Amino acid sequence: MGAKRLNRMAMRAATERSLIDATALIQGREFESIEEANAFLQKVLKEGGLPPAPADTPLLQAQQVAYDAMEATGRRRVVLARRALEISEDCADAWVILAGEERKSLRKALEYARKGVAAGERALGKEVFEEEVGNFWTLIGTRPYMRALFALAELLWATGDKDEAIGLYQEMLRLNPDDRQGVRYIVMQIFAEANRDDLLESILDEHGEDPTATVAYARALWLFRKEGAGPAADAALDDALQKNPFVPQYLLAFRALPSRMPDYYGLGDRNEAIVYAMAALDGWIGTEGAPAWLASRVRKMRSSR
C-alpha cells in the first residue's frame, strides 16, 4: 500500500491543541450567536492562525509536551513523555504514552496505565467527577483521563483480568454515553468471550441502528446465545451477512487473520471483517453450536442466489 500510515496519535494531538487554543481565544468574549463566534475564529485563522493558549500551570505545560510526544515517533516519543512527567506527574497522557510504548513487559505497561488513571483523577478533582458525568470527552480536559481508562482496560483484558476490564468499559460508557472512543464496539466484540450477555441489550438499545458489522454480528450472536437458532437469530445473522459477507471467512478459518489490525476499514469491506473477527473470534468459538450455525446460514444464503 503506497499511502503512508496514518499517525492517529499525532492527529489527535493537533486537533486538541487547536480546540484548546480556540477555547482560550474566545473565553471571556461575548458573541451574539455561534455563527458570530465561528466567523471570529475564521477571521483569526485567515490572519495568521490561532495564538497558543497560555500554559500557566505545570500540568498545562506538561500536557503541551505530551502533545509533542504524541506527534513524535520512536524513542523521542518516550523521551518527551518522561519530560512531561518531570514537569507534572499528573499528566495522564504521558503515562498512557509510556504504557503504549512499553514492549517488553505487560506488567510494566499496566503499572504505567494505572498511574495514568490515578494522574487523571488527581488532575480533574472530585468536583468534575460529581458534576460532569455524561460530559466526559466533550470537555477536553477529561480526555487524557478517558484515554488512560481505555489503555488500562485494554491491558487488563490482554492479561486476563476480564472482569476488571469490563468494569472499566462500563465506567467509560457511564462517563461518556455518547461514546466518542468506540467503547461500545469493544464490548460488542468481547461480550461472548467474557460471558457478559447482560451488557449487550442496553448497548443495542442505544446503538442498535449503527450500520457496522460489529453491531450486526454481535446482535446475531447474542440472539443465538439467548434463544438458539430460530427466526430471530437467523434473521439477524442473515442481516449481518448482507452487511459484511467477509466475516465468516475469518470466523470459520477459511482465511487466516493477519498478525496486526488494519490501519483503515470501510463499511462492508474485508478490513472491517478482520477488525471484528480478530476481537470476536474467541467468543464465537466458545459459544457451543455458533460456528456450525454460521456455516449453515452461509450455505443457505449461497444456495438461494
- What are the pLDDT digits (tens) for 160-215? 999 999 999 999 999 999 998 999 999 999 999 999 999 988 898 888 688 999 99
CA distances from 231 to 200, 227, 235, 237 (A): 20, 10, 6, 10
pLDDT of residue 50: 72
- Flag whether pLDDT at 305 surpasses 70: no
> Considering only 12-16, 163-167, 252-256, 287-291, which range has the smallest mean pLDDT?
12-16
Q: What 3-state class would DSSP assign to 263?
A: coil
Residue type for 26, please? I
- Flag whether pLDDT at 41 surpasses 50: yes
pLDDT interval class at 132 (50, 70, 90): very high
Say what the pTM is: 0.87
Which DSSP symbol is given to 49?
-
Q: What is the mean pLDDT of the segment spanning 36-40? A: 82
- Residue whose C-alpha cell reads 499517525 in the numeric block: 7
pLDDT of residue 5: 39
CA separation for the pair 167, 176 (Å, rounded): 14
- Cβ(79)–Cβ(68) below 8 Å: no
Between 51 and 17, the higher pLDDT residue: 17
Q: What 3-state class would DSSP assign to 256?
A: coil
Q: What 3-state class would DSSP assign to 224?
A: helix
The overall average pLDDT reported for the chain is 91
Q: List beta partners, residue 138.
A: none
Q: What is the mean pLDDT of the segment spanning 79-93? A: 98
pLDDT of residue 6: 43
- Flag whether pLDDT at 3 surpasses 70: no
Q: List beta partners, residue 136.
A: 139
pLDDT of residue 47: 79
- Cβ(151)–Cβ(116) below 8 Å: yes
> Considering only 43-57, 64-78, 129-143, which range has the smallest mean pLDDT?
43-57
Q: List beta partners, residue 139.
A: 136
CB atoms within 10 A of CB 16: 17
